[in-house]
Amino acid sequence: MNTFQRISPDTAAQMLEADACVVDIRDPQSYLAGHIRGALRLDNDNVQQFVTTADRQQPLLVCCYHGNSSQQAAAWLAGLGFSQVYSLDGGFESWHQQYPDLVSRG
């Protein structure tokens, strides 16, 4: 069974440059207010399609509010066969503080 790793915002930023896939599991309003540039919002309505169509070999970064819920989601995705799964320590709040220029809105 695959596992996930917790990573810092600095490591996550390096992964984005290397074309990692980012998924955001926060609520729609929070996502619209600001998210990591290029992040896909995952929820119960689209997660099955994502799991079915995503490249399971591409690095996958999971983001939530503060880095807690993303650990559960990352473990679940790793258990489904995604080979490189990461949970963002500190979540979007840490990301937003360190990399405001890499935040998209809407």
Q: What is the spatial distance between Cα 82 and Cα 51, in angstroms, rounded to a whole number?
A: 9
Active site residues: 64
Q: In which element (H, E) is residue 86 found? A: strand 85-88
Please state, as a whole number, how many other Cβ atoms lie within 10 Å of the Cβ of residue 95. 25
- Give the number of other CB atoms < 10 A from CB of residue 5: 12
**For residues 50 and 105, what is the distance between their CA atoms, to the nearest angstrom?**
22
